[in-house]
Amino acid sequence: DVKVTQSSRYLVKRTGEKVFLECVQDMDHENMFWYRQDPGLGLRLIYFSYDVKMKEKGDIPEGYSVSREKKERFSLILESASTNQTSMYLCASSLPGTGGSGYTFGSGTRLTVV
């Protein structure tokens, strides 16, 4: 069964901490994505990557950075966590051009910043 695995289901961090969210996929997908999901706002794209060491900003990159050193791993970094970054974070992957079934999503990480 193909999978996108996010390292933590729930995280609680303090304001100002540096936070790492990890995502690993086992499908040999080129494209990987990070979204945040908030009630009433839907999924908003933070960053995406279409190849190792490549990254592009999405719609809301401020306060975030990413790292993709290996094809299967895409990390989201909150440089200095703030309370307005409390959210559900979703990682996804896809084939080039996205493919017939679109994205495969991880189970999400519920991050609370206090």
Residue numbers of the site for another protein (CB under 8 A)? 4, 31, 33, 40-43, 45, 48, 50, 58, 90, 92, 94, 96-98, 100-108, 110
Q: Which is nearer to another protein, 15 or 54 (CB)?
A: 54
Q: Which is nearer to another protein, 48 or 75 (CB)?
A: 48
Closest approach, Cβ 26 to another protein, in A, equals: 15
CB 67 within 8 A of CB 77: yes
For the beta carbon of residue 41, count every other beta carbon within 10 angstroms: 10
Q: Which is nearer to another protein, 82 or 112 (CB)?
A: 112
Closest approach, Cβ 30 to another protein, in A, equals: 10
Closest approach, Cβ 28 to another protein, in A, equals: 17
